[in-house]
Amino acid sequence: MGVYLVQFLTGLASASALFLAASGLSIIFGVTRVVNFAHGSFYMLGAYFGFSFVQMVGGGAIGFWVALLLAAVAVGLVGLLVELVILRRLYKAPELFQLIATFGVILIVQDAALWAWGAEDLLGPRAPGLTGIVRIMGTPMPVYDLVLIAVGPLVLLALWLLFNRTRWGVLVRAATEDREMVGALGVNQSLLFTGVFVLGSMLAGLGGAIQLPKGGADLLMDFGILAEVFVVTVVGGMGSIFGAFLAAVLISQLNTFGILIWPGGTLVLMFILMAVILIVRPTGLLGRPETVGHKAAAGFEQALRPAGPHYKLFVGGLLACLAAAPVFVDEFQLVLITDIMVLALFATSLHFLMSTGGLVSFGHAAFYGGGAYTAALLVTYAASPFELALLLAPLGAGMLALVIGWFCVRLSGVYFAMLTLAFAQVAWSVAFQWSEVTNGDDGLLGIWPSLWASGTQVFYYLALVFCVGGIFLIRRVVFAPFGYGLRATRDSTLRAAAIGIDIKRQQLMAFVFAGAMAGLAGGLFAFSKGSVFPDEMSIPRSFDALLMVLLGGVESLSGPFVGAAAFTYLHDELITFEYWRLLVGSTIVALVLLFPQGLAGAAKHHLGRFLKLEADPEAAAPSPRRKAREA
């Protein structure tokens, strides 16, 4: 009995830090509509700052708590910097740009922390006077856990007072409920946004700091907490602090008891819980439905026109170069171009989903990896020939997309995006944890093509045919009735439904098609490298795809190709530096701030007018959002 009670209390204790971080994310999202991907980094910084401040301020009981609060303040200052320098310029940009920018911040913070505190994990200082152990019904439990249990409700109370008893807090609440109204009241919006962002960052920092005595500080904390924080905020209901508290307790209990029941599967359990809750209550436990007008995928409404004559020449020239490449370049470069083509297909499939469907997926790597694993498992366990395995890769990924998409298309906007991330994480953890079949982190090896296709040149041509074919197929679909129907659901769900379009079905088919195409890319990848690792399904890989789409520009169909090339180049150039993450992160942030249309978009914007890259010059329709504002 005592064991279970202590287990329960331990769950409550770990809920506190999680709640602090999640409430910060939730508050920020509620007011600014930005999903702050760097929130895990703020949590990590809180731990590192806490560690340093405890060393400086000294070991007394008061000094310890002062140090933790100072850590929160320091993280708040970092948040201030991020808001002022980056986010402030992006509030009106499409959501994707904010996400990518905050992802850049993650990378920068990772290297900053590495530089300041080193690569070694830091052992957390113990809280003076609270180092003992109490026995609860005979089972021992650290005293500090009891303190942690109290911190969660205390902060909840403090936030409640802030939001109900202070003018500023009431404003924040009003802004969460209706942003336009607050704007109309003449409140200084940018000040409000900055304040909220700083508050949210401080909460994350405090969360990281208070768990120091239990968990210490290390460089993997950021991604570690991010997935959990996402789950908590979404399950609790975006923007709801009570919801975040409930969900943090729920998730922490699931984790602590889940370990007793199914030790390897806690991640899976957590994401299954999230999926179930979101299907029953699409806006989370205490979240309210989005008011109409907040559209996650805004920024993709531009008209698409078929290729103009010059664009066709350009594509023809590019194809000729690719076909002739083996004559001019060496083997090493040929492998590089193969990689770029595979990534371009992967990115194009995501681009299709985002631009034509308006569906921003954070978990597209699930299908890239899904295709790679389909091929690899077939070769490993069914001794399937290379040709069959390659053809079945898109089928396997498409089936995975059918299952995942069936859940995801019930939601829209940011909830859709987060649910795709959640399922991708499930897919990753299955690949990672089910080592009897997938060989876990060691991956599946020896996945080579048949002899006839194993030469670098032959495989290059094979990849060329499949990747270019896949990209053309996607382009064809965009301009087919299916693509038009999908675009209709993106442009206006009201109108689409009122002319007989089954929106969910159209979106699900798009999700499956995009998944299958990503799976084809994944299958090619597996055979070009001869191996598959869980990394191919991970969050960073999904971000790679988003990044390529962003680099290439969300509005042009050829963008992903440019994006894949730029991505590969950047990656290969920068990875040789010790602080490559810092460089990549800064580059991402700079690109987002300088070229909100992406590289290809920017080039097209400047050159497009006299190069006639599109068939119809009057393509630059203003977004419906802007129109709605003018109306």
Partner 1 sequence: MSAPSTIERATDLPSLAVRNLNKAFGGVQAVRDVSFDLAEGELLALIGPNGAGKSTCFNMLNGQIPADSGSVRLAGEELLGYAPAEIWRRGVGRTFQITATFPSMTVAENVAMVLMSQQRELFSFFRSATHRHRDRAMELLDLVGMTGQADRPCGVLSYGDLKRVELAVALGNTPRVLLMDEPTAGMAPRERLELMGLAARLVGDLGISVLFTEHDMDIVFGHADRIIVLSRGALIAEGNAEQIRNDPLVLKTYLGEGQIYGQAED
The residues binding partner 1 (CB under 8 A) are 301-304, 306, 476-477, 479-485, 487-488, 490-492, 494-503, 506, 509, 513, 616, 618-619, 621-624, 627, 631
Residues 283, 416 contacting (CB under 8 angstroms): no
Q: Nearer to partner 1 by C-beta: 214 or 605?
A: 605
Tokens of 551: 């680099």
Least Å distance, CB 607 to partner 1, is 21
Q: What is the CB neighbour count within 10 angstroms for residue 349?
A: 31
The vertex-111 CA angle with 540 and 545, nearest 5°, equals 20
Least Å distance, CB 348 to partner 1, is 15
Least Å distance, CB 505 to partner 1, is 8
Residues 256, 7 contacting (CB under 8 angstroms): yes
Least Å distance, CB 119 to partner 1, is 49
Residues 207, 21 contacting (CB under 8 angstroms): yes
The vertex-402 CA angle with 398 and 403, nearest 5°, equals 125
Q: Of 80, 88, 1, which is closest to residue 42 (Cα–Cα)?
A: 80
Q: Nearer to partner 1 by C-beta: 472 or 569?
A: 472
Least Å distance, CB 623 to partner 1, is 7
Q: Nearer to partner 1 by C-beta: 257 or 479?
A: 479
Least Å distance, CB 45 to partner 1, is 42
Q: Nearer to partner 1 by C-beta: 74 or 518?
A: 518
Q: Nearer to partner 1 by C-beta: 220 or 619?
A: 619
Q: Nearer to partner 1 by C-beta: 61 or 620?
A: 620
DSSP 8-class letter at 355 = I
Phi, psi of 483 (to 5 degrees): -65, -40
Burial 184-219 (b: 16+ CB within 10 A, else e): eeeeebeebbbbbbbbbbbbbbbbbbbbbbbbbbbb
Least Å distance, CB 158 to partner 1, is 30
Burial 444-472 (b: 16+ CB within 10 A, else e): beebbbeeebeeeeebbbbbbebbbebbe
Q: Is 420 left (phi over 0), alpha (psi -120 to 50) or beta?
A: alpha
Beta bridge partners of 531: 445
Burial 266-302 (b: 16+ CB within 10 A, else e): bbbbbbebbbebbeeebbbbbbeebeeeebbbbbbbb
Q: Nearer to partner 1 by C-beta: 403 or 497?
A: 497
Q: Nearer to partner 1 by C-beta: 425 or 489?
A: 489
Least Å distance, CB 264 to partner 1, is 40
Tokens 């290059």 sit on residue: 460
Q: Nearer to partner 1 by C-beta: 255 or 558?
A: 558
Tell me the angle at which helices 413-433 and 539-552 cross, rounded to the nearest 10 degrees. Answer: 130
* Alpha helices (H) along 1-92: 2-32, 39-57, 61-85
Tokens of 59: 């070991």
Q: Nearer to partner 1 by C-beta: 52 or 623?
A: 623
Beta bridge partners of 139: 136
Least Å distance, CB 490 to partner 1, is 8
Q: Nearer to partner 1 by C-beta: 452 or 484?
A: 484
Least Å distance, CB 398 to partner 1, is 13
Least Å distance, CB 614 to partner 1, is 12
Least Å distance, CB 312 to partner 1, is 15
Provide the residue count of the chain.
Answer: 631
Q: Nearer to partner 1 by C-beta: 40 or 358?
A: 358
Q: What is the CB neighbour count within 10 angstroms for residue 128?
A: 15
